[in-house]
């Protein structure tokens, strides 16, 4: 009888742990969505589902992040690292960005 109660108690504890993990994951996902809304000024679902094209060497891109880098020109396309080198004349810098477009830039 004691052994059965211990197994039931352990199962109850395991269910509570799983429920707590689920709550933490949902809170984390909500925080990510909220940060995307603040960073890009639109809903996360719009960014996630929007038709975005990744930039290639020679493309002009409009930076949509909060960095206010404006318009940039793609100087290099590194296939190994999946990054692009973009020159931003407004700030006078060249910056490596992720090539895969998650809505952080718009190909003009």
- Region 76-90 average pLDDT: 92
Segments making up each domain of the chain, as ranges: 2-45, 52-107
Strand order in the sheet with 60-63: 93-98, 83-88, 71-78, 60-63, 105-107
User: Would you give the DSSP letter of residue 92?
Assistant: T
User: Would you give the DSSP letter of residue 1?
Assistant: -
pLDDT, tens only, 30-76 = 666 666 566 555 554 454 555 578 899 999 999 888 777 789 999 99
User: What topology does CATH give the domain 52-107?
Assistant: SH3 type barrels. (2.30.30)
Residue 18 Cα to chain centre, angstroms? 26
Query: Over pLDDT 70: what percentage of the chain?
Result: 67
Half-sphere exposure of 92 (CA within 13 A, CB side): 0
């Amino acid at each position: 009888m004691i052994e059965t109660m211990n197994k039931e108690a352990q199962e109850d504890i395991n269910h509570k742990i799983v429920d707590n993990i689920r709550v933490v994951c949902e809170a984390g996902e909500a925080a990510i969505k909220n940060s995307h809304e603040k960073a890009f000024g639109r809903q996360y679902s719009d960014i996630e589902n929007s038709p975005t094209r990744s930039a290639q060497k020679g493309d002009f891109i409009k930076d949509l992040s909060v960095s206010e880098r404006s318009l940039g020109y793609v100087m290099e396309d590194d296939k190994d690292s999946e990054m692009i080198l973009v020159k931003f004349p407004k700030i006078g810098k060249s910056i490596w960005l992720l090539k895969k477009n998650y809505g952080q830039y718009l190909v003009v």
